[in-house]
Amino acid sequence: MEIGVDPDQVRRIVRAVKKTIHIPVFAKLTPNTHGIVEVGRAVQEAGGDGVVAINTLRAMAISVEMGGPILSNKFGGLSGPAVKPVGLRCVYELYEALGIPIIGTGGVETWRDAMEYIMAGARAVQIGSAVGRKGLKVFGEISSGLRRYLESRELDDLGELVGVAHE
């Protein structure tokens, strides 16, 4: 996480990875920075193929029974619905600044969540925590909901909605 807030470090790492492998490289960005756009630009300048926004928020929980942190290393990552507003804001800001694809992540549990990310500028979404809560059926539910939404708007391509919240 410390490296991910420094655009120069991110630029160096993405360049090195791109020189070493010949597959698409997407850098997952931390929201724990005041400069996510600068970090995203560093990925783009280094030849990154896209960004994933966002990783988890740094968080912690304390056990009142034990009188201390629940996690042995004290801090962990907050994910799920609580981070969606932060993820949406980051995708929105990055879309205005970058020319590479953005994958939106953080709190995607329904087709509406996915659509919000798409309208903010994401070309795809990542689903993580929802799988633990809803099981693998969540993928079909989200896909079906997106399909119904497109049909109700008489649209053929989800790509037509990428970034519409900016217009």
Domain count of the fold of the chain: 1
Residue-range definition of the domain harbouring residue 75: 3-166
Give 83-134 pLDDT, tens digit per residue.
Answer: 999 999 999 999 999 999 999 999 999 999 999 999 999 999 999 999 999 9
Highest mean pLDDT among 5-9, 42-46, 53-57: 42-46
Give 140-162 pLDDT, tens digit per residue.
Answer: 999 999 999 999 999 999 999 99
On average, the pLDDT of the chain sits at 95
Sign of CA dihedral 122, 126, 130, 136: positive
Strand partners, 103: 52, 124
3-state secondary structure of 137: helix
DSSP state of 81: G
* Domain CATH for 131: 3.20.20.70
Let me know if 148 is exposed, middle or buried by CB neighbors in 10 A (0-12, 13-18, 19+). Answer: exposed
**Its pTM surpasses 0.85:** yes
